[in-house]
Amino acid sequence: MKKLILSLVMIAMLTGCKAEPVKQEEVTTTVISETDAIVKSDCSGYTVSVEDLKETIDKAYLCDYCMRGGDLKFYFKDGDYYNYSGETYDDFINSFGDVFASESKIAEEYFSLHKGYLVGNELYIQEILDDAKPIEEDIRNISGSYDAIYIYGGIGSNPTFIRNEFEITERKEHSIVLKNTAYYNEENNTPVKTYEYKMIIEDGKWKFVNFESWK
């Protein structure tokens, strides 16, 4: 027995083993599927919630509504253009890139269809304005001095809309499918409509690959 203990001590000395406890390094939590191991992260499609996406959903709706259906006015003040909520025109234009993925081409479609038309000293941004000639400026980079910039979609919102519910129905590490169930009153021929949006992570943000307004 003494020889065995002595042998173990010699082995430990030769191999550099120490009696100190081994310090464990921080490990990444993983979820094991049937096919592979999926690493979780703050931005992961496996951990993101509808609540996390609320700001992106609201921004995407506002962008689409203003350019296709509603209206938004920016007044010139203190050297910049501001809307009723204090957002600048540049912030609004940049928000398209924050919520729509580059592969979707949604932002490019909006900006290619809309032009700036000068009416008095106000700039109207819309698809077409009769009896008015569009300016040469790119509406994404307005440098002229106008009293206001007015974005007009011309369609308006759906007055029969009541509410909607969102849920994530498919999850992958860098993409999800977001389901939107919209409810309308009895005046609408289809009281319940379902929309599905694919979203991906781009530049560290969740963005829409496709988008259709529910109002």
123 and 132 in contact (C-beta within 8 Å)? no
- Exposure string of 40-62, with b = 16+ CB inside 10 Å and e = fewer, is eeeebbeebeeeebeebbebbeb
Tell me the torsion sign for CA atoms 7, 10, 14, 16: positive
Cα 127 to Cα 154: distance, rounded to the nearest angstrom: 9
DSSP-derived pairing of the beta strands 161-171 and 80-82: unpaired
pLDDT of residue 132: 87
Cα–Cα separations (whole angstroms), residue 78 to 51, 93, 102: 35, 19, 33
Cα–Cα separations (whole angstroms), residue 127 to 133, 134, 151, 180, 186: 12, 10, 10, 28, 32
Cα 179 to Cα 199: distance, rounded to the nearest angstrom: 11
pLDDT of residue 180: 97
Sheet (strand 175-184) strand order: 161-171, 175-184, 192-202, 205-208
pLDDT of residue 29: 31
> Per residue of the chain (215 residues), what is the pLDDT tens digit?
434 443 433 434 333 334 444 343 333 333 323 333 333 445 799 999 999 999 999 999 989 888 777 778 999 998 999 998 899 999 999 999 999 999 999 999 989 889 999 999 999 998 888 888 899 888 999 887 899 999 987 666 778 899 999 999 999 999 999 999 999 998 888 899 999 999 999 999 999 999 999 98
214 and 161 in contact (C-beta within 8 Å)? yes
Instruction: Name which of 59, 53, 54 is nearest 171 in CA terms.
Output: 53
pTM of the predicted protein model: 0.73
Question: Which residue's structure tokens are 């490990």?
Answer: 27
pLDDT of residue 130: 86
Instruction: Name which of 112, 106, 108 is nearest 197 in CA terms.
Output: 106
- Residue 31's CB: how many other CB atoms inside 10 A? 13
Q: Which tokens in the block code for residue 103? A: 């592969």
